């Protein structure tokens, strides 16, 4: 394929958030009732947390948001300017400007919806022993409206793309936007992919998630999310391989593509289910002392995976690229990476 064939080939939609990241202590986690390896939406009790983090700990500000991370990593792996696009809502403020600058520098074609009255969303990233917990204060990210998507210059990104990726987190913001994109993908034989994203999405946004399931050609998630999904659907199994198979066999809206389920399990092998069969792929081993934090590890895996999927590569290569990208990201703070990938 010529590089022009990759123009806008991959589109992401999600919640652009500025990560407020710090290594914290157990006392802080207990105070705010935070569990590691989890992701939640901030409640009132969490709101003082962000200031306290910056007073007590060394805080880094990193452009984040699950889908945006994945799209940036895919862009980095592809090294073809403008191969990826992204939409979401930010505030008209310095954080929003910083985010725009960061994403554009990464080579992503961003079309943000800018909210005049609400600040750019933030995500508290609490790190302890390399594990992360995410507490998202969506703010402007929660204000994305389907009207923005329908504007000709934005819908053009949907028309141009051949692959779509939307994290489950966006289900809490604009299910109408997701519906338009998934229906376009189905009608035009394009590839629609989503992520389970967090246990609370599987549990409390089950109905909107279920409406998307028939359209998902690829479902990503981690072992905790997969087990929550199984429990919520009354499957009565904790076996990740069985869950992955069952998910891949749920009804599909179109028969163009069979569904593939891809479940990561931290340091344990990646589980891939398609055609009623499971394959496991080992991740790249990393000595504990090289682990900085797992923030963005799953996002980076998806980004690496998608970078090869848009090239038409097979599942093994896609997983290999996903494992490579997440291995790079967990050795750095947040979802960041060196200037060029070293992936062949």
Point out the residues that are catalytic. Answer: 299
Q: How far apart are CA 71 and CA 276, in angstroms?
A: 29
Q: Please report, for the chain, how many H helices and E strands are present, in that order.
A: 13, 14
Residue pair 211/175 in contact (Cβ under 8 Å)? The answer is: yes
Q: How far apart are CA 117 and CA 168, in angstroms?
A: 25
Q: 3-state class of 338 per DSSP?
A: coil
Q: How far apart are CA 139 and CA 64, in angstroms?
A: 14
**CA distance to 12, 90, 95, 111, 182, per residue, from 8 (Å):** 10, 21, 25, 12, 17
Q: How far apart are CA 90 and CA 259, in angstroms?
A: 33
Q: Which residues in 129-228 belong to E strands, given as ranges?
A: 131-137, 163-167, 191-195, 218-222
**CA distance to 28, 101, 161, 167, 308, per residue, from 95 (Å):** 25, 10, 28, 22, 31
DSSP letter assigned to residue 310 = T
Residue pair 89/112 in contact (Cβ under 8 Å)? The answer is: yes
């Amino acid at each position: 394929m010529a590089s022009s064939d990759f123009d806008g080939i991959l589109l992401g939609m999600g919640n652009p958030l500025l990560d407020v990241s710090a290594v914290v202590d157990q006392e802080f986690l207990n105070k705010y009732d935070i569990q590691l390896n989890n992701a939640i939406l901030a409640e009132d009790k969490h709101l003082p947390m962000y200031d306290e983090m910056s007073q007590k700990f060394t805080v880094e500000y990193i452009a984040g948001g699950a889908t945006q991370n994945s799209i940036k990593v895919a862009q980095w792996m592809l090294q073809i300017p403008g191969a990826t696009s992204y939409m979401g809502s930010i505030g008209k403020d310095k954080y929003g400007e910083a985010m725009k600058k960061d994403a554009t520098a990464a080579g992503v074609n961003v079309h943000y919806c800018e909210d005049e009255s609400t600040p750019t969303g933030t995500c508290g990233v609490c790190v302890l022993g390399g594990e992360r917990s995410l507490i998202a204060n969506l703010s402007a990210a929660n204000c994305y409206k389907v009207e923005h998507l329908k504007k000709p210059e934005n819908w053009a990104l949907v028309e141009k793309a051949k692959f779509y990726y939307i994290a489950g987190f966006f289900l809490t913001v604009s299910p109408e936007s997701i519906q338009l994109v998934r229906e376009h993908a189905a009608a035009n034989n394009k590839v629609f992919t989503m992520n389970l994203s967090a246990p609370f999405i599987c549990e409390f946004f089950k109905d909107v998630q279920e409406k998307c399931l028939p359209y998902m050609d690829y479902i990503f998630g981690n072992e905790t999310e997969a087990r929550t999904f199984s429990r919520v659907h009354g499957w009565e199994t904790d076996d990740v391989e069985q869950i992955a198979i069952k998910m891949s066999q749920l009804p599909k809206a179109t028969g163009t593509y069979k569904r593939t389920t891809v479940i990561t399990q931290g340091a344990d092998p990646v589980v891939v289910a398609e055609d009623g069969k499971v394959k496991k792929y080992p991740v790249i081993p990393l000595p504990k002392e090289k682990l900085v934090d797992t923030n963005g590890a799953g996002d980076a895996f998806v980004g690496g995976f998608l970078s090869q999927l848009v090239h038409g590569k097979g599942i093994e290569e896609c997983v290999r690229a996903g494992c490579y990208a997440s291995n790079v990201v967990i050795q750095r703070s947040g979802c960041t990476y060196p200037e060029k990938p070293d992936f062949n």
